[in-house]
Structure 1
């Protein structure tokens, strides 16, 4: 009867669709075909108008379609589901998938932002108050009460509200650099601070301007010359100490503040005279500073603003005991500031001992090892005996006019002298900077290179960190450094201030233990990884602690200090 009705109503196409849908329904829901046919016959036996019968059939078809769509939605792969939900706009399945996707994205960003090991478990730590961590303007900020409006990043120098004489040193800049805009609000408020930012990012003024304000705000400061300083800046190398001193001397002049630079390798006489004549800021290397303290010449008892610049490098160079001794001479009510490219165990322990339990930490960019993307990195695997000829060939390529600045890095002091002599014999005008040279000669060589009078310089790693040498177009690593971190700092001497640079590196068999880290640096920067380098493998050795070896746990900067547990004596003990 049903079939005759369909024929009379001219439903040939509808019948074929219904049969197809029945077959699909049989497969999806597992309902037997015979049972479906019996159910259909029963429905069609119901008497009624032709229109009502047509309506019943249409309604049944809609229900089948709905069931079919629901079952298909379940079986559709995730990618297709996302496409369908996008096309359909507001389907429940699509919205649910998007919500899950957004949640995963948030977690991913949070994990990336907190990759500095600066938070415990869920990024929060109970230590008096909840430690906040958030991402703002490309920087990750963590610490207590860091979201308060008074700590908002500065967008202009005027917004800082600092006196004109203090901002005189910033007149050549349009706005604060990222590290300055985040650091100043905290430092001007007297907070202990840890800053991590790429070299050449304006770190000197990031701590220099707050240091000037700290001195000017001291109520007991007299207008006459001071016998003891109020601010101390520690630096790992003489060259970096001199560079910091140059910046702070210029910045302090409009404010009437005086700075002195103390470093070894030169006569103590002029430095002693400068200290006796009165000083507000002392910039120095740990060795010379400790000597002058022990001589009773330099008194740090009133120092209440202390900066450790390149703290990790300072400890790597073996100055940990000197640094601890110097810090113990400063005021107990000091404000501590640390800038460090990496955060090893020794630096953390130093911060834990001399800083507040929860210092503010600002990471601009990333704490992960990453090279400047404006530098084109070229790595060649060479044998030792081939390096001299290859170096000369590269100098003929990059330094043919002998005008553009080329910086050649070597590993050891004797190697620097040997390469310098070799190039001079071949007719190249070259200077060098290394530890065996007298400080006067080192300063003169660096000056000739900076001024462009001798734009070819050989240097050990004393010139790899912190030094602001303008317009270095090419860096050549004649010897690969001892760590991948030093490699990143070396090539960071070029490609500065938005300019492009080239770093050409010689890699030898003896450096194979660092191949994996070098490959990671190259890949992160989107550089070509030579097949000859891949032969050494891509394994990355676990960092070792000098005290505890390879089996040690990295500790977050804000980890709480250990507490001493005292057990009460029990009278019930046998």
Structure 2
């Protein structure tokens, strides 16, 4: 093995080879956790020291009293961080999340966060689907008061944060409020949920169908790759909520079997991904078929120009915006990220070595991401020939094959799956311990979504990523993601540089920071008459 390959093979090795399955992973995660706790504790102590210095040098004014309050807060922070460090930091999942809410009249008492299910004022039959949860998640707590009061809302939150019920429960309440005293047979839908992929649409439908059982709200999932017959029959019998992908919904509208004229509650889930996939014109066409007076909800992981323009065109001029965490690109801190720089031809051999480490018992769930459909088929075939039990999902497979593969992976019958980015966003797959990026995605946003398939619901996870010379243009963004999450940045990755390129659009050019409406106007420059001579 050459020196470069040897170095690549040992970059950021987190576990000992002789440890069975993921026991070594746990040891390494504990080590990383201890390091992070120490950093947090040191940071809190520095803040306390700064407050103490300021307190000793300034007179006892109103400002000084405020500083004493800050000192008390800092002391409490040190106590909390010290306690977390002493107890191994295992209680991280209950920490307060950074929440930013912006919009018009958001200070009204009726928009106060819903801290408990009992305080929500929602009917018992509607909340039946939440009985296994202790309290509303942060996005539910903040979104429900606005949505239940008819406000348009933009939600930005990490995957696995309870977004489906954040818009799902208000959608059911919208239906129940509109359906009073009306006949149900042959009814047109009142709510529409658009999703970029079949898998995500089906997942939303599963949640909504389960939630609607106890309160009598019926949902249907419409997507391509399967027969239209059963879908048409369900629509003719009458339905309350339509969930689906843009292509199939457009087809059924054009066939005259789906009418959206009564839809007055619309959700665009993963709006940025929908536009990335080229659905912008179809989405605009579908929205044009809905009721002119409607409530709009948009969930998006990022906020590019195209999504911003869509919101301006179809939403209220003053929508509420709820951001859980940050709008900046950031990875789940419960995922230990390992990046390995290697030669393209070394990936097959290295993948097998990692599976022997992470998937030795072939019981724990491991998800391997590739970039292209043909690559997915090739890697699946290679692993089959090597004796591994593996399934795959990608665009060249029929919907039946995709659904079956995902089911086998979810129920643990085949806990090793190869996938393209159709599985990167939104899918709630329980207990994925390891994500391996065999091919780096086309964008760093997709990288963040891929590794977000593990480390869900407060659990810890591991992502192991192959980075090659062909990916060097994304090195700067990846370095930023790793540093933000306090992860190890390999020296080989830094050799590609840390410059972050501006994102560009063929239509609009580089995307710059959004300028608010109340920003200072540009200064007009005038020239004297001599310039005309």
Residue of structure 2 aligned with 1:343, choices 274, 289, 303: 303
Q: Is the 8 A contact 1:416 1:434 kept in 2?
A: yes
**Other structure's SS at 2:230 match:** helix
1:474 aligns with 2:445: no
Residue of structure 1 aligned with 2:210, choices 246, 250, 259: 250
Partner of residue 389, structure 1: 349
Aligned residues: 448
Partner of residue 526, structure 2: none
Q: CA deviation at 1:285?
A: 0.1
Partner of residue 320, structure 1: 280
Q: Is the 8 A contact 2:191 2:264 kept in 1?
A: yes
Partner of residue 335, structure 2: 375
1:501-529 alpha-carbon deviations (Å, 9 max, x no partner)? 00000000000000000000000000000
Structure 1 distance, partners of 2:51, 2:301, is: 42
Q: CA deviation at 1:167?
A: 0.4
Structure 2 distance, partners of 1:235, 1:541, is: 29
Structure 2: state its 5+ residue gaps.
1-48, 75-95, 520-533
Tell me: CA distance 1:167–1:508, structure 2 relative to 1, closer, same or farther (3 Å). same
Tell me: CA distance 1:454–1:155, structure 2 relative to 1, closer, same or farther (3 Å). same
Q: Is the 8 A contact 1:469 1:493 kept in 2?
A: yes
| TM-score, length-scaled by structure 1 | 0.75
Q: CA deviation at 1:554?
A: 4.1
Tell me: CA distance 1:94–1:142, structure 2 relative to 1, closer, same or farther (3 Å). closer
Residue of structure 2 aligned with 1:152, choices 87, 112, 132: 112
Q: CA deviation at 1:94?
A: 9.7
Partner of residue 373, structure 2: 413
Q: CA deviation at 1:546?
A: 3.7
Partner of residue 444, structure 1: 404
Structure 2 distance, partners of 1:456, 1:331, is: 45
Tell me: CA distance 1:534–1:553, structure 2 relative to 1, closer, same or farther (3 Å). closer
Question: Which runs of structure 2 are paired with 1:293-308 in the superposition (5 Å)?
Answer: 293-308=253-268
Q: Is the 8 A contact 1:382 1:506 kept in 2?
A: yes
| TM-score, length-scaled by structure 2 | 0.80
Partner of residue 187, structure 2: 227
Tell me: CA distance 1:228–1:219, structure 2 relative to 1, closer, same or farther (3 Å). closer
Q: Is the 8 A contact 2:437 2:463 kept in 1?
A: yes
1:366-413 alpha-carbon deviations (Å, 9 max, x no partner)? 111111111110000111110000000000000000000000000001
Q: CA deviation at 1:486?
A: 0.3
Tell me: CA distance 1:85–1:338, structure 2 relative to 1, closer, same or farther (3 Å). closer
1:139 aligns with 2:99: yes
Partner of residue 144, structure 2: 184
Tell me: CA distance 1:553–1:381, structure 2 relative to 1, closer, same or farther (3 Å). closer
1:300-356 alpha-carbon deviations (Å, 9 max, x no partner)? 000000000000000000000110000000000110000000000000000000000
Structure 2 distance, partners of 1:292, 1:232, is: 14
Tell me: CA distance 1:274–1:81, structure 2 relative to 1, closer, same or farther (3 Å). closer
Tell me: CA distance 1:234–1:556, structure 2 relative to 1, closer, same or farther (3 Å). farther
**Other structure's SS at 1:218 match:** helix
Tell me: CA distance 1:272–1:139, structure 2 relative to 1, closer, same or farther (3 Å). same
Structure 2 distance, partners of 1:557, 1:273, is: 48
Structure 2 distance, partners of 1:207, 1:377, is: 31
1:241-286 alpha-carbon deviations (Å, 9 max, x no partner)? 0000000001111111111100011111111111111100000000
Q: Is the 8 A contact 1:248 1:259 kept in 2?
A: yes
Partner of residue 270, structure 1: 230
Task: Point out which structure has higher relative CO (alpha carbons under 8 A, 6+ apart).
Answer: 2
Q: Is the 8 A contact 2:197 2:245 kept in 1?
A: yes
Q: Is the 8 A contact 2:98 2:326 kept in 1?
A: no
Q: Is the 8 A contact 1:348 1:557 kept in 2?
A: no
Structure 1 distance, partners of 2:386, 2:410, is: 23
Partner of residue 543, structure 1: 503
Structure 2 distance, partners of 1:361, 1:558, is: 15
**Other structure's SS at 1:487 match:** helix
Look at both structures and tell me which one has the larger radius of gyration over its CA atoms.
Answer: 1
Partner of residue 383, structure 2: 423
Q: Is the 8 A contact 1:199 1:492 kept in 2?
A: yes
Partner of residue 489, structure 2: 529
1:469-527 alpha-carbon deviations (Å, 9 max, x no partner)? 00000000000000000000000000111111000000000000000000000000000
**Other structure's SS at 1:165 match:** coil
**Other structure's SS at 2:504 match:** coil
Partner of residue 199, structure 1: 159
Structure 1 distance, partners of 2:454, 2:99, is: 23
Residue of structure 1 aligned with 2:176, choices 203, 209, 216: 216
Partner of residue 457, structure 2: 497
1:555 aligns with 2:518: no
Question: Which runs of structure 2 are paired with 1:94-109 in the superposition (5 Å)?
Answer: 95=64
1:512 aligns with 2:472: yes
Q: CA deviation at 1:89?
A: 7.3
Structure 2 distance, partners of 1:528, 1:391, is: 20
